[in-house]
Amino acid sequence: MYEDEKLVCEDCGKEFVFTAGEQEFYAEKGLVNKPKRCPECRQARRKQHRKNRKMFETVCSKCGAQTQVPFKPVPGREVFCRDCFKQMQEDGTLPTRESVETPTEE
CA gap 27, 30 in Å, rounded: 5
User: Does residue number 41 form part of the binding site for Zn ion (CB under 5 A)?
Assistant: yes
Q: What is the DSSP letter of 33?
A: S
* Selected binder of Zn ion within 4, 5, 8, 11 (CB under 5 A): 11
Q: Measured from the CB atom, is 58 or 60 closer to Zn ion?
A: 60
Q: Measured from the CB atom, is 58 or 81 closer to Zn ion?
A: 81
User: Does residue number 38 form part of the binding site for Zn ion (CB under 5 A)?
Assistant: yes
User: Does residue number 12 form part of the binding site for Zn ion (CB under 5 A)?
Assistant: yes
Contact 31/9 with Cβ under 8 angstroms? no
Smallest CA-to-CA distance from 71 within 48, 55, 86 is with 55
